[in-house]
Copies of this chain bind each other. A is one copy, B any other.
Amino acid sequence: MSLTVYRKAHFNAAHRLYKEGWSDEKNLEVFGKCSNPKYHGHNYELEVGVSGVIDPETGFLMDFKILKDIIKEEIEDPFDHKNLNLEVAAFQNVNPTVENIAIEIWNRLRKRLHAKYDISVKLYETPRNFVVYNG
């Protein structure tokens, strides 16, 4: 009886889209106003899905409380109220597009969740733009 449980979380952060080695003109041409050197920001809304088999004893796939705490430790604490380009090591050399942020989130959760679980990450950058990454 495979099933997926989902937990929502959120963090507010600043970022800019920028490729090192490109001129400012080239960055502006490709990334538009998202390349603003003084940064802009978003309320990122996150949905983490964990797929697996239900424990017949508890009726839990996994305890939502534990999942909530892992998301807090791995994602909310290090990302919330931060400048992603300047304060999250993963984005020193990786452009913090919503695609790359979703992959980074997936990688962080993968290290913390048992291999028996599959993981999916849905990340809203705005209410209109979002991505899904399943590894």
Given contacts A39-B41, A40-B82, A30 and B12 within 8 Å (CB-CB):
no
Instruction: Identify which of B81, B102, B126, B130 contacts A40 (C-beta below 8 A).
Output: B81
Within 8 A of B (CB), among A70-127: 80-83, 86-87, 94-100, 102-103, 126-127
Copies in the complex: 6
Interface size bucket, A side? Answer: 35 or more
Q: Roughly how many angstroms separate A133 CA and B98 CA in the complex, as a whole number?
A: 24
Q: Roughly how many angstroms separate A127 CA and B127 CA in the complex, as a whole number?
A: 11
> A22-45 toward B: CB 8 Å interface, digit per residue (1/0)?
000000001111101011111100
Tell me if B8 and A58 are in contact (CB < 8 A).
no
Given contacts A131-B3, A132-B4, A38 and B14 within 8 Å (CB-CB):
yes
Q: Roughly how many angstroms separate A81 CA and B41 CA in the complex, as a whole number?
A: 7
29 contacts between A and B (CB under 8 A): A3-B132, A3-B133, A4-B132, A4-B133, A5-B99, A5-B131, A6-B129, A6-B131, A6-B132, A7-B129, A8-B127, A10-B127, A12-B41, A12-B126, A14-B83, A17-B59, A19-B58, A30-B58, A30-B63, A33-B81, A34-B81, A36-B82, A38-B82, A38-B86, A40-B82, A42-B43, A54-B99, A59-B97, A60-B99
